[in-house]
Amino acid sequence: MVKSWLFDIFNYPYDSKPEGLDPELVQDEYDWHLDTWVRAEDLGLDGVFFSEHHFTAYNMSPSPNLLVASLAQRTSTLRMGVMCNVTAFHNPRRLAEETAMLDYLTHGRLEVGLGRGGDDLEFKKEGFPLEQTREWFEESLELMHKAWEQPRFTHHGRFFHYDDVSIYPRPKNRPRVWVTAFSPGTITWAGTMGYRLALAFLPASMMAQYRRTYDEAARAAGHETSPDHIGVLRNVFVAGSDQEARDLAEPALDHVFRLFKEAAVPDDIENMAKGYEHYSSFFAPFAAEGGVRFEDLQAAGVVVVGSPATVRDQLVAQAEEIGCGNIFNWFSFGALTSEQTLRSVELYARDVAPALRSLAVA
């Protein structure tokens, strides 16, 4: 079985300059996105993942755990979480407390997604050294597990020092942790630690290779793996025909990629910080003259746009090739309207999700 999730970066689709922000338009964006997430439960989808980004129009969810808390009160079956809480923007003891609260507010429907982050410009605006993100990330997770699992804990690391402290409350359910990974090192580490793995923005063939790397590391450490431990993010848009879908999705993707370039792509991608060298190839298409081409993304399977039959066949093929049990569908991007997005979600739920749900992957 392959589960179908919504994923929402939740950008501001109008004037991207700070002076151009219109509070009334912001209110409308929050309201209709929330309505869409609630509708996803009515349509039988499995869950929603939010994202965390800061300081630009690329994303309006700097505190995505608030979205989880809000949606939890309006739904009863959807699982929900953040992909991912960027540990460099958090004190891990506080983040452990917050996720424990969310475990209760969601009645056990919480997914805990964590990552070190990859947006160089966000870290520069915050004054956080990019070179320290991996050590901060790994130490944060170590501390969070102590806080979740021990009534009292002591921790002495490079960044954090606590003696005989607690959090209150501790979670009722054992946190189900996802790690977002782009580099082979993080993928191997996630498998070794027994975390679930979220992959994004890569061709299916590369994701299939990373799935094998993850499985080998997990099994060597004594952890069981299954397709349900793997999630894949895709930009997805469904319309009545392939041409209609492209006509609507292509300019919307151009818009969100422009915002992404402004928000995240470093000025010098050839000299990335230590530990981020692997990201040079990821950022290269955004920095190139002409930017990212829709045809290239579609050929690589990074975007899946078309009629219900086209989207169904492409996602089924990718799920089988990768061996993933979860598809995270980024339905709302750029300047797509509420009506266009909801229709896409409804067509997906009717014609795509059942095929994925009946699929047996290994």
Provide the residue-wise pLDDT of the chain in tens; the chain has 362 residues. Answer: 999 999 999 899 999 999 999 999 999 999 999 999 999 999 999 999 999 999 999 999 999 999 999 999 999 999 999 999 999 999 999 999 999 999 999 999 999 999 998 787 888 888 998 889 999 999 999 999 999 999 999 999 999 999 999 999 999 999 999 999 988 889 999 999 999 999 998 999 999 999 999 999 999 999 999 999 999 999 999 999 999 999 999 999 988 888 887 777 767 767 766 666 666 666 666 666 667 788 888 988 999 999 999 999 999 999 999 999 999 999 999 999 999 999 999 999 999 999 999 999 98
Output the six-digit token pair for 277.
């060298």
The four Cα atoms 242, 243, 245, 246 give a dihedral, to 10 degrees, of 110
What is the assigned CATH class of domain 3-357?
A: alpha beta
Q: Could you give the residue ranges of the DSSP H alpha helices within the chain?
A: 23-42, 64-72, 92-105, 120-126, 133-149, 184-193, 204-220, 242-264, 279-287, 294-300, 308-322, 338-351, 353-357
pTM for this model (two decimals): 0.94
Would you kindly state where each structural domain of the chain is located, as residue ranges?
Answer: 3-357
Cα radius of gyration (the chain): 20
| Contact of 162 with 153, CB cutoff 8 Å | yes
3-state SS assignment for residue 361:
coil
Closest-CA residue to 51 (of 134, 137, 128, 115):
115
Region of 2 on the Ramachandran plot (φ > 0 left; ψ -120 to 50 alpha; else beta): beta
* DSSP at 225: -
**For residue 47, which phi and psi values (nearest 5 degrees)?**
-175, 180
Strand partners, 230: 197
